[in-house]
Homo-oligomer: A and B are copies of this chain.
Amino acid sequence: MSAQQTDQQRQAEREEVLAKARRAKEVAPVIAALPTPAKDAVLLAAAAALTERAGEILEANARDLELGRQNSLAESVLDRLALDQDRIESIAGGLRQVAGLQDPVGEVLTGRTLPNGIQMKKVRVPLGVMGMVYEARPNVTVDAFGLALKSGNVALLRGSKTARCSNEKLVEVLQETLAAHDLPREAVQLLPCESHDSVQDLITARGLVDVVIPRGSARLIEAVVTGATVPTIETGTGNCHFYIDASADVEKAVAMLLNGKTRRVSVCNATETVLIDAALADEDKRAVVAALQDAGVEVHGDVEKHHAFGADVSPATEADFAEEYLSMDIASAVVDGVEGAIAHIAHYSSGHTEAIAAQDAHALRRFADAVDAAAVVLNASTAFTDGEQYGMGAEIGISTQKLHARGPMALPELTTTKWILEGTGQVR
């Protein structure tokens, strides 16, 4: 009896996901056709509504936090979940920023007149229905709505159960703003989050969903990308390397390395492995490891090889080099010059951001040419891979895949193109 109820609940959840996806597809043409000023007006009004209704939002958030504490969620999860007046203001500020960005829809990317007189152009158009699967942070709910709307897309949001009350309240505010502008509420919809199966329902809704973007842990992203039958964009896993060539200015290299590792340890552009050129002087090698340890970073490496130049490190296994620590830990390996670094990175890279410190032009050129990643950084910290730093404005995520978009994704990456051919009766 209980198992049957569960089946019924499961079926109901699945039907809710598909019904919402169908509604999203129905209203997509309305949102796709909106002129820029109409979209910007909604974004600004939504920002104002979020600020005005901060009290309600904080109340909903308090319920999530209370439940989270009862369920003994980790402090780090509770911190990502928690909203306060400042965070709400910052979320609203994000919408205002998106309102100020250039609308990508309608941009003509290329065009020509064919010998037969047909005039053709390739125009940016919205993707249509954009699904997001994400974890605790309620700000993603509003960010995804803002970027989707500005790029003419509708959003299907599958947030986590831990943030349910917060997400429901935020989406209520957004939907009421849409309705007040005579726009369909279904331009943003929250999907059920009772079970993991609702993720599966979303990522297999072929014909209804144009793209799903997962944002969160490596495990979540892998599950979405491998389980999906709709198109997905893999984002955010960053096992970023920083290679110090024998030709590097070691003092600068250490500053860049520390910046990449310790600026914020929980972000995908944080440095997770340092590669030290075997040809570097022993005292410089020692200085690199010591600087990390002095900054409170635990260095994991081959104990004997590090001992050989006078450094004491924690023992590392193969897994350490594949790990995205997201903590005050780093893996360290000694490699044979730039070719050794390139080979190590080819083996362990997640394709996010890979950096080199060197003064030798050949080493820099080889590294830039041979390393296969979204971003290759010469003589700067890995921390720069970020939509705002790149001058793109807000970002929806950082693609680590090769198709469609690679690196930080902003508004243009949430569009596709359409060829429009204008003839006068041509036949072939």
Contacts and interface: CB of A to CB of B under 8 A. Distances in A.
One complex includes copies of this chain to the number of 2
A125 B402 CA distance: 10
A112 to B, nearest CB: 6
Contact of A423 (B125, B127, B378): B378
B256 A384 contact: no
Contacts of A374: 418-419
A114 B417 contact: no
B120 A390 contact: yes
Contacts of A122: 407
Given A259-B428, A391-B112, A125 B372 contact: yes
Given A370-B29, A380-B118, A384-B118, A416 B425 contact: no
A402 B114 contact: no
A202 B68 CA distance: 43
A385 B381 CA distance: 46
A98 to B, nearest CB: 21
Contacts of A401: 231
Contacts of A375: 418-421
A255 B379 contact: no
B249 A425 contact: yes
Given A211-B403, A374-B419, A378-B423, A369 B33 contact: yes
Nearest to A251: B425
B428 A389 contact: yes
Contacts of A128: 372, 402
A80 interface: no
A423 B372 contact: no
A263 B346 CA distance: 49
Interface in A364-422: 364, 368-370, 372-381, 383-385, 389-391, 401-404, 406-407, 416-422
Contacts of A256: 425-427
A336 interface: no
Given A375-B419, A421-B377, A428 B391 contact: no
Interface centre among A120, A381, A428 (most CB of B within 10 A): A428
Contact of A420 (B346, B378, B425, B426): B378
Interface of A: 29, 33, 112, 114, 118, 120, 122, 125, 127-128, 206, 210-211, 225-226, 229, 231, 233, 249, 252, 255-256, 259, 263, 346, 357, 364, 368-370, 372-381, 383-385, 389-391, 401-404, 406-407, 416-428
5 contacts: A114-B390, A120-B390, A128-B372, A256-B426, A379-B422
